[in-house]
Structure 1
Amino acid sequence: MSSTSTAADLLVTVSQDLIAVGRIGPARGVRGDAFVEPWTDAPDERFAAGSVLRTDPSDAGPLTVERVNLSGAKMVLHFAGFDTREAVEALRGVRLVVAAEDRPAIEDPDEFYASDLVGCAARTVSGVELGPVADVLDIAGADYLVLHVDGVERLVPFVREVVPEVDLTTRVVTVDPPEGLFDL
């Protein structure tokens, strides 16, 4: 089992329907270009020239990508109508969002969008409620569900042996915790 952010989000759910795919950073230069922090595995697709992106807050957009450049390893976008440093600096911190339904379908039944797991109810195989999935972390290539069990943050390895079932229809994640997982 694994979570994925392919062509969409990196765990930033704006609402049940919207997923953040990036955040506008500081201006670059004086002609209205801005650094953008991509939160997607497919920045070339999401931020291609001509792309129209919704925003959070919504009154900042929609924004149309006019040009894309790279400055070293950093992505630099120019949005149509934002031709000065001051204009684009006003967008700093705005999140760029897409509709959750616009994400490509995942074919593998053992793969999930991490944002779809956040908020799911977690319970043990014996039915003990653990609380909602607060987050999904990717640590050194391994995924972990973040749960708050008895007020303590716990990381649950997102592997079939520990999380034998995920039902996105009922929004329930079943956990079979190994002995001691919640005792630390």
Structure 2
Amino acid sequence: MASTDSLLVARIGRPHGLRGEVTVQTHTDDPERRYVPGTVFATEATVGTGVPRSLTLVTARKHRETWLLGFEEIPDRTGAESLRGTRLVLDVDEAAEAEDDDEGWYEHDLVGLAVVDPSGAALGEVTGLVVGAVQDLLEVRLADGREALVPFVEAIVTSVDVEGGHVVVDAPAGLFDLDEL
């Protein structure tokens, strides 16, 4: 298992073809930068599956909007089948070295931040990040204990201050009251 200071990059799906390529569910907003041949990913897999502790990327390509990856250690379809469900992770420090300073945040940056409204009133706490195909969602535990999903878009999450320990959510009317109908 990878350390807790790891960044989930992808989850391996089914094999593709006969030469060991696999489909992946991407968990990064910049796959072109993460899927570079020569990158060594740590793996997280069920104990006893025989999955190597690390995989070295040799090929990465898109096929019908799905990423296909090939690894040095996996020469054929049989080997690729054994990878199904394996998580590919990078050490957070290595991942940070590979990227420029942009306005993205990782889940570990956000979890635990206080959620406040534009006036500074406490609304709750960030408990997770759901990465979606169209948009991401912040998982928030509200002050009354209910759970809520907040679209992680600039119009609603107007500010993220990791150093200050909070995010500002300008929630549209009803966002936190949907389950009270």
TM-score for the superposition, normalised by structure 1: 0.67
Do the aligned partners of 1:137 and 1:146 also contact (CA within 8 Å) in 2? no
Unaligned runs of at least 5 residues, structure 2: none
- Considering only aligned residues, what root-mean-square deviation do their CA atoms show, in Å? 3.4
1:85–1:100 Cα change, 3 Å? same
> Equivalents in 1 of 2:30, 2:11: separation in Å?
15
Q: Return the offset for 1:178.
A: 6.2
1:81–1:31 Cα change, 3 Å? same
Q: What is the match of residue 44 of structure 1?
A: 32
Q: Return the offset for 1:55.
A: 1.8
Which residue among 122, 125, 130 is the counterpart of 2:124?
A: 130
Q: Return the offset for 1:43.
A: 2.3
Q: What is the match of residue 98 of structure 1?
A: 90
Does 2:62 correspond to 1:74? no
Does 2:11 correspond to 1:28? no
- What secondary structure is seen at the aligned counterpart in 1 of 2:90? strand
Q: What is the match of residue 83 of structure 1?
A: 75
Q: Return the offset for 1:181.
A: 4.6
Do the aligned partners of 2:55 and 2:72 also contact (CA within 8 Å) in 1? yes
1:176–1:42 Cα change, 3 Å? closer
Deviations 1:28-52 (A, max 9, x none): 2233221223222332332222221
Do the aligned partners of 1:134 and 1:148 also contact (CA within 8 Å) in 2? no
More strand by share: 1
Identity of aligned residues (%): 35
Q: What is the match of residue 146 of structure 2?
A: 152
Deviations 1:159-181 (A, max 9, x none): 67865653312533344656655
> Equivalents in 2 of 1:127, 1:105: separation in Å?
33
Unaligned runs of at least 5 residues, structure 1: 1-13
- What secondary structure is seen at the aligned counterpart in 2 of 1:87? helix
Do the aligned partners of 1:117 and 1:136 also contact (CA within 8 Å) in 2? no
Deviations 1:3-34 (A, max 9, x none): xxxxxxxxxxx875211111111112233221
Paired amino acid for 1:37: Q
Aligned pair count reads 167
> Equivalents in 2 of 1:144, 1:92: separation in Å?
26
1:48–1:165 Cα change, 3 Å? closer
